[in-house]
Structure 1
Amino acid sequence: MIGNGVVKFKKGAPFLRNVTAFELDPSYGIQVGILKSGRVSDLQIWDYVFTDDQMIQWTTCNNQEAEGNIFSWSSNFNVTSSNVGYRELGTGLFCLPETLGLTVLSKQSYTEGIISCKQLKANVHAYTTSLKNTDIRTGKGLLSGNYELWAGYSDKLDENNYISPDGLNINETQLTWRWGEPNGENLENCVAMQGPNTQNTQIIDKMCMEKLFVTCEVTESLVFYIHNIKSIFPQYNEMRFVLEESSPSPLMFHGFDGSRVGKIKNTWYLISAEGVKLLSRRDFGFPLGHKKWSKCDGSEVELLFNACNDHEFGCGDGSCVSMYKRCDQQIDCTGIYQKYKIKINGN
C-alpha cells in the first residue's frame, strides 16, 4: 500500500510473493509494474481507509462484488499482456469448503479406516440404521454392485461388547444381527453391513484385517497442506488443497494454484497446474502424513501432507494433535508414527 490506498486480496490467497508495485499520483494515475513472478488472486485499491466493518465486509468470502474505486482487478487488469499469465480459479478455491459430511472411502481394513478418518479429523461413522436412511454426502458412487462396508463397531477391547470409536454400543441402534451372527469365527472382531439392499439393517462380524468400504463422519471444513515442498516448487513454503469429489479418482485434492493430487488406480500423483505429473506414491488410503514420494528420475523426496492448523502438530500418519498436548508425557501419535512427533517438533 502506498499513500492512503487499500490493497485487498481475497481471503486465504496463498501466493502473494512480492508481485506488484503501485505508484499513485495526485490525479490517481496508477502505474503497475511486475517486480517478480508470482500469483495474485485479486486486487482492489480504494482512495480511503476502511473502517473495521468495511474491512470485514470486503474481505469475507461471501462478498464476490468487491471493486475498488481507484483500481479494480476485473475492470483494469490487462490480461492480454504477453508477460502475464491469467487463469480464473473462482472464489471457491480461496474460501473454506463445505464439510464433506458422511464420506465413503475406498476399501481398507478397519484399522486403516480409523487412520484414514483421523487424517480427515473424523471418526469412523457408526451406522445406527440402514443405508437408505443414512445421509451419505460424499463418495456414495463407490458403492456399486454387491459390497460390504464397515458398520463402525468392534469388540476387540471387550469380547461380545461391540462399541464404536466414540463409545456407542451396537445394542442401542436399529441394527440387527443376521441369523447365526455373531459367530466369532477366526477372530472376527469387527462389524460389517452388506449391500446393495439399502433396506437391510442386518450386520455380520468380520475379521478386522479384511478390506471393506469405510465411512468417515467429517464435520470440519478442511484445508490440506503439503509442507517442505521447496525442492519441487521453490517459490512456495507450502501448498494448500481442498478435498472434493472428482474424476477419475472418487476424491481429489485440488490446489489453490490449479495443481492437484489425484489417484489413478493405486497410485497418487502430484500434478502441476499445467498437467505435468511431478511426484507419485502408491497408497491404498490417502497419501497423507510424513511419507516418501517418487520423482520422475527415480529419486525420492519426503513430504509432510496433512490438514493440521497452526495450533496443531502433525503425526507421521497424517493425523493432527493439539499443541496443548505437546510434551505432556502422553503418547498422542500412535504406533510406528510416534517418532515423527519428535522429529517434526525438534524435541
Structure 2
Amino acid sequence: MSSYQPPLTLNTRILALIAEISEQIGQLSAVDEGRQTPQLRRGNRIRTIQASLAIENNTLSVEQVTAVLAGQRVLGLPREIQEVRNAFTAYESMPGWRSNSRVDLLRAHELLMHGLIDDCGRFRRDGVGIYRGEQLVHMAPPPSRVASLMDDLLAWLGTSDWHPLILSCVFHYEFEFIHPFADGNGRMGRLWQTLILSQWRPVLAYLPVEAVIREQQDAYYGALSAADRMAESTPFVEFMLQALSQALAEAACGEPVTDQVTDQVTDQVARLLEVIQGASSLKVSELMAEVGLAHKATFRANYLKPALTAGLIEMTNPDSPNSPAQRYRLTELGKRLLARSASV
C-alpha cells in the first residue's frame, strides 16, 4: 500500500451516501442490460461530453454536439468543435486504460487536448493559479513537484483499500488540487473519475454525472474551495457523492422531462409525436402520410431530425439508419413528454 494518504474525514453523511448509491447501482444494474441500448448509451455519452465542456465555457448545445459527432456541419467556433471531437475520442478510449497508470493518464490528456494546446500529454512546466473572475482561489503546487505528486497519487489509487466511490471522489479533488496540466484539468478530473467508477461498476461508464455537475456548477466550485480551506477533500467528496446519487436517480426513471426539453418541441415535432403515439412504430412514408407532407426533405428537416436530436423518438434499427425497413418509435422521454402535455 502506498505511504501517501490523502486527508479525508469520514462522516455520517458520506457513509449514508455510499449506502444509498450502492443500492441505486444494484437496482440500475438489475434492469440495465435491457434498457441500455447502444443509442441510449451514445445519448448519455453525448450529454456527458456536452456538460463537461460547458463547465469549461464551451457554448455548443447537446444538439450541436450530436451533429458534430454525426459528421454534420455545425455553426460554431473551431476550437469548440475540436473540443467535442477530442472528448468523444477520449471517453471512447477509456476501456483500454488503467486508472493508476501515468502513461495512460498522459495519453488521455493528449487525446483530450489534441490541437488545443502545445503541451498536450505532458505535465505543466509553469506555475498556475486558479481564478474565479479576478479573485485567486487556488495556487497550485510548483511545476517541479507535479510529477512526484502525481506519481504518489496514482500509486495510492492503485493500492488503496478505500471504497471505490470514495477513491474516485478523493482522486478527483487531489487531481484538481495538483492541477498537473497547463489546461484541461477540470475535464481530465471528471474523465478520470468516470474511469475509476466504470472499472468498479461498468454501468457507471455511461452515467452522465457531468450533467448534474453542470446544473450545480457554483456548488461544484464551492466544494473545491471549501476542501482547499479545510486542507482535506471531505466537502468535495460529499458534493460528488450527492451528484452521483442524483444522476443515478435520474437514470433509474429515465431522463427527466425538463423545461429545456419542452422548449425544443415545435408544433411540427408535437404533431409527429402524436402520430407515432398511436402505433408501435412507423416508416418515414407512413409518418409523412399521417402529417400530410409529400416533400421528404421538408419532413426530415422540420419533423424527423428535431425529434431524433431531442431524444423523443428513436430508430428501430439504429445500426442501419438508411435501411428501407427502418421504422421510428417513441422513446421513454417522448412518452413522458406526451403524458405531461396531456395532464396540463
- TM-score normalised by length of structure 2: 0.21
- TM-score normalised by length of structure 1: 0.21
Structure with bigger helix share is 2
> Highest CA radius of gyration, 1 or 2?
1
Q: Which one has more relative contact order, counting CA pairs under 8 Å at least 6 apart?
A: 2
